[in-house]
Structure formats: structure tokens, C-alpha cells
Structure 1
Amino acid sequence: MRSSAIHSYLRGPGGRLMGRPGVRSYTTRQYSESDLEFCLATEKDFRQVQSLYNDETDYIPSVYHSWLRERNRVIILAKRQDQLIGLCSSHIVDDGQSALMEGMKVAASERGKGAARLIYRHVAELVRARYPEVKKQSFITDPKLNRGGLCVLGKQIGLCSSHIVDDGQSALMEGMKVAASERGKGAARLIYRHVAELVRARYPEVKKQSFITDPKLNRGLCVLGKQFLISLQVPSINVPTLISEVISNMKKRRDEYYEPIPLQPDDVRSIFLNRTVIDTLLPGGRIIQNGAVFKPLESNLDILLKRDIVWRADRKDNTRAVSLGAAPFRDPMGNRVFMIDMFGEDLSAVKNVFLAQLQSLPPLQDNVICLLFVNPSLSPQISEFCINEMGLEKGKQDWDDEYIIEIDILQNVI
């Protein structure tokens, strides 16, 4: 992204389009910056953004409006011929040290054309310009990140978000998504680059990107930590009865069972700022919530405590397992998706905290898909417990295992 384009972006009010006119249509070659226009997302764009997710399970539509209100976050839309084809966001976290890149999405029809790369680069440059103190980018993604993830106005094909976290030092890259029909065309690469360039331009103090990825996206990046996914179908109507039966059977077998505790804000700070918890429970010393990664800092906990999260732990002192449950959201198929990020390696403690998270579910008439992320060492045992002892069924693997990556803000990953 050229400096003149960055300055025009920063001057533009109300998310006004600040790309180049006269965009031409290309279907076989890779997109260049002159093919796309970028703008800041607004409330008015929601309907088009939502159209990116009509055929896939994703949480972005449920958080879009709250993202627009978050401090130190930018959401960039990518357009081609006035049609929305991609999105990416960056959130400054980790006391301003990292840029959390989130929500990268490219419309299915536009994938494989390099759009994600351009979008990501745009966001990253904006972060570097606006938050020069940011040192790292962080994000959670999957192997599709190197093939799709762009949003172009009109027909949306992709999305990506970056959240400035870590006290303005990092850009958390989140939500990279490209419509299924557009993958493999390079859109994600363009979106990601566009978002990264935008972050670099708007937040020049940001030095790092952070994100969560899939092991197949292995390009010599350093993996700080990882969590494995267990996807489950939960019979929502009978959840209370189901949990009671499971607990009763555990007691009959003399398995260790106790009532986990809900955490208040002071409890959250006490536990997640505890050095022992950070070193022994958190993957790579990071907090993962709903596909985003945060350093355990006061400023990041302030961000998380404002979200609709169910916090559960086995105990306040000598904590062995702690979890974050996101508010269930409805996917395009009408299912309710309940995401639980579980931290800890003690099997009994993790089982008990998982049951407590299920007990927190409100009464729902919809089918419930539970996405449970656990320490890799516990994945086989917890999966067996859920399927064989609880009688739950495996859910679709529309999501991926989580690998935490942190790189310099100047580094491009796609």
C-alpha cells in the first residue's frame, strides 16, 4: 500500500471508500492493489458482511456490531467493482504490543486470486502507521488462509479483522474467511495483506501480529502453543437431565467430582495473572477466546471481561482447569454454536469444568454444536468421555485445531 493511499485512508471520514476508481474485472490472474478498493466497515455494511457467511458456520456476524464499538480495532472491507468480496480486522492488544488479526474472509467466488494477501497487507500497513509501537501480529487461522480471505463490496467473498491489543503493542488478526466458491484464487492473501497494511498505517506503534493457525500452514513460523478441537452435538432440550445422569454415574464409579465455581471479575484477574497458571495451564502463556489470542495482561482481561463470556474454574486456589465459554451464536444452518476454550491438563478437573460450562447453557430449542478446545494431551480422553460416557455424538469438523503464532508486524505470512 502506497503512503499516499494510507494517508487518504486515515483522512477519509465515515468509512468512505478510499481505493482506486476504474477497477477492471479479472477472473484468471492474481489480483493487484489496483483491482481492489478498501474502506472502513460501518453498521450499514452489516447486510453485505452477513452474506459472506450464508453457507458456512462462523461467528463473525454475531460479533460484527460489538467489534465496531471496540477501542483500538479496525475492520477493513475489500471491494471489487463496488461489490464486497472480503474483510479483515485488527485489534491492538497485549498492552499495545500486538496486533490481533481477526475475521479474514473472502467471498467464495473471489478466492484464489490473491485478494486475501492484499487485504491482509493493507490492514498490516495501517496498523504499522497508526500504532508504531506494535511489535507483533497474532491470529488464529486454518490452512485455507494462504488461499482465500477477501471482502469486496457488492458481493461479499471474504472478511478479516484485526484487533489492537496488548496495550497497543500487538495486532490480533481474527476471522479470516473466504466464501467457499472463491477459495484457491489468492483472495485471502490479498485480504490479509490489506488488513496488515492498514494496521501498520493506522497504528504505527504496533510491532507484532498474533493469530491462531493450522499446522498445515507451516512456513517455518514459531508455534507458541496449541489446542485441539473436539466437535460435539449436544441435545439442548435435555441438557440438565443429561448432566445430572453423568454426574450420578461419575459418583457411582467413585470418579473425582466436585462443583466448579463461576468466576467474578476479581477472580478472573487473580487466576489469569497468576504466574503458575500462566506457565502451567495457558498454551504458550496465552489466553485463547473464540479464536483470538491474548497475553495475560490487565488491559486484555479488561477487554475480555466486557464480552459475554462464562468463566469457570475448578477452584480459585491451586487452579487445575479454567475455561471461557462464549455466548452461543446461531449459524446459517440454524444451529446454536457453543465455543468453550478449556485450559489445563488435569483430566478430572477438565471434565468437571466442561460439565459446568454445559450447565451454563440457557434453555435452547435449537440443535447445539459444542466446539470444545482442549490441551492436546487430553484430547483422546475427553473425546472418549463425551462420546462413550455422556452419549454425545461427534459434530462436523468445520473448525480446526488451534496453533498460536506470533510474528513481527512487518512480516507477511500469506
Structure 2
Amino acid sequence: MLTLFAVSPPPSPTQSDAQIGLQSVYIIDAGKTALVEGLRVAPWERGKGVAGVLQRFCTEMVKEKYPGVQVSRLTRDDKLGPRDFKKYRVIAKQGILLVRFSAQELLSRLEANVQALLEGGFRPEASELLSESDVPAVVLQESFRREVLPNQTIIQDWQPFKAMESNLGLLQKKALSWVVDKKERPTVATLSTPPFPIPLGQGWFYLNIDVFGRDLAHIKSQLLRHLRLQVAPLQGHVMCQLFLEPSLWLAMATFCQEALGLELAKGYTEQYLLESDI
């Protein structure tokens, strides 16, 4: 990983240098891709070209240190303008569904909610929780890469990885939970990240769930499995972020609110996976 800092000279000899920007780069996809993350510029320096200088310097350093890198990739959740489309190729687009809930309250009523769903005609679909040794055999299937993943890419939270063996080694270090409808030629896969604390107050956690595939019934069933799996150990409140096919956002937002009693924390937003040549 490369982490670059932009530093401005001190305003007086008695003061230290001020950090005004930073950007990190990971080399992934068997050395072919530079994953660009964390571009930050101090508020008082924005609009002065600091971001552009950091990006150009970072690109030159990657070329020098990693000559095998061919493209850079990054994810963004803001609206793209004409300049962005000139600079980047859009590799994938996903909807972002953000809901919040109390862990204890959800667990206390979840089974009753599921029972009400069953009485209303909902039929949970079969799902399988993959072991660490199962993951390569499932994810590296040609049909899975081409038919389920967006542009053959595992977008784990905000990090895009091509579905290849070297990247699975990186993902295994994150203790992800993979759920599929079936191991042989799956049509829907979901993965969740272990919840982590966030600075919204005492006892707040973030839970990210990535959804691949379009079968709504399977996605609802797998969401229930992830909630049971990840929320049970928690005490406090949860911000849960689902990344999914944009056309499914409204149906899943309705399911989360009306069937599960979760609160919508934000309206529809999008995540873009962008790529440019090095």
C-alpha cells in the first residue's frame, strides 16, 4: 500500500508543517490494478488544485514502483459530471440502501416479523453459508463471474476486486460471511462485513452487506440470514448499508421498512465503480 500526504509550509518558523491532503493506493488484481482510496483535502485548501496534484503524483509513483499496473480503479457515491465521464469508464453502478435499527429491538421481534411474513405468503428460499474453503470453488466459477457479479468484480463495501484467486486471499483476511442460494451455479450471493464501531455516539456500529444477483426472494432470505448472523452479538444501534442492483432498491427499502421495521436513514444514492488507464 502507498499512502501519500500533501504538506504545506508552516505560516511561521515556530509552527510545524500542516498536512493538507492524503491519498492511499493498493495494488490488487495480481499487480494489474491500482485501487485508489481515501482522497482527502483539508477544507481550507479545497479548490486550489491540491487533489489534482496528489492524483498526478500518485499515478507517477505507481508507474515507477509497479510498472505492471495497467489501470486505476476507485469508487464514488456522488453524482458524475461530464468531466468525470471523459476521465473515467463506468465499470459498474449499484444502489445504496441505508437503514438503521436497535440491535436488541430487532432481535426481539425478528422471529415474529418472519412469522408474519410466512402468514402473508412469504416463502424463505434456501441459502448456504460458505466456509472459507468453499469460497474459491464458488466464486471462481465462470458462470458466477459472468452471470452474477457486476462486470466480473467483487465490490466488497467500497473496494472492487476482480474475481481471481490472488484477490480471494486478500478478502479472506477480512473475515467476511458469504451466503449463496446454492454452491453449484449460484444465482444470488451476498457477503457481510463484521460490524465495526462508528463515531455516532456510544454503541453505534456499521454493518455492510453486498448483494450480487437480481432474484428478490433469494435476496430477502439472505438478508435475514445475515441479520441473524451479524446482529446477535451486538449491544447498541446499527447503521446497515446494502449495496445492490439499482432496480431492486425500492422493493428492498419497502421490505426493510414494512416487513422488518427498520428505519430508512437516507434516500436512494448510487455507488459508481470507475476505471481509467494508467
Q: TM-score, normalised by structure 1?
A: 0.61
The one of 231, 237, 245 aligned to 1:367: 237
What code does the residue aligned with 1:241 have?
S
Cα distance per residue 1:24-57 (max 9 Å; x no partner): xxxxxxxxxxxxxxxxxxxxxxxxxxxxxxxxxx
Structure 1, unmatched stretches of 5+, are: 1-72, 144-213, 410-414
Structure 2, unmatched stretches of 5+, are: 10-16
Alpha-carbon shift at residue 259 of structure 1 (Å): 5.1
The one of 59, 64, 75 aligned to 2:3: 75
SS in 1 for 2:243: strand
CA contact (8 A) 1:234 1:393 kept: yes
CA contact (8 A) 1:342 1:373 kept: yes
Alpha-carbon shift at residue 109 of structure 1 (Å): 2.7
What code does the residue aligned with 1:389 have?
A
Cα distance per residue 1:374-397 (max 9 Å; x no partner): 111211111111112111111146
- Tell me the distance in 1 between the aligned counterparts of 2:44 and 2:205: 27
Alpha-carbon shift at residue 78 of structure 1 (Å): 2.0
- Tell me the distance in 1 between the aligned counterparts of 2:61 and 2:41: 19
1:1-150 superposed matches below 5 A:
73-81=1-9, 82-143=17-78
Percent identity between matched residues is 32
CA contact (8 A) 1:239 1:358 kept: no
What code does the residue aligned with 1:233 have?
R
SS in 1 for 2:105: helix
- Tell me the distance in 1 between the aligned counterparts of 2:141 and 2:38: 30
* Structure ranking higher in strand proportion: 2
What code does the residue aligned with 1:115 have?
V
Cα distance per residue 1:101-145 (max 9 Å; x no partner): 1111222232222211111222211111111111010110244xx
Match of 2:258 in 1: 388
- Tell me the distance in 2 between the aligned counterparts of 1:104 and 1:400: 20
SS in 1 for 2:44: helix
Q: Which runs of 4+ in 1 moved over 4 A?
A: none
Alpha-carbon shift at residue 280 of structure 1 (Å): 1.6
- Tell me the distance in 2 between the aligned counterparts of 1:268 and 1:234: 30
Larger RCO: Structure 1 or Structure 2 (Cα < 8 Å, ≥ 6 residues apart)? 2
Question: In the alignment, does 2:156 pair up with 1:286?
Answer: no
Match of 1:310 in 2: 177
Q: Give the root-mean-square deviation of aligned CA atoms.
A: 1.9
In the alignment of these two chains, the number of paired residues is 266
Question: In the alignment, does 2:219 pair up with 1:219?
Answer: no
Alpha-carbon shift at residue 366 of structure 1 (Å): 2.6
The one of 88, 92, 97 aligned to 1:230: 97
Match of 1:401 in 2: 270
SS in 2 for 1:112: coil
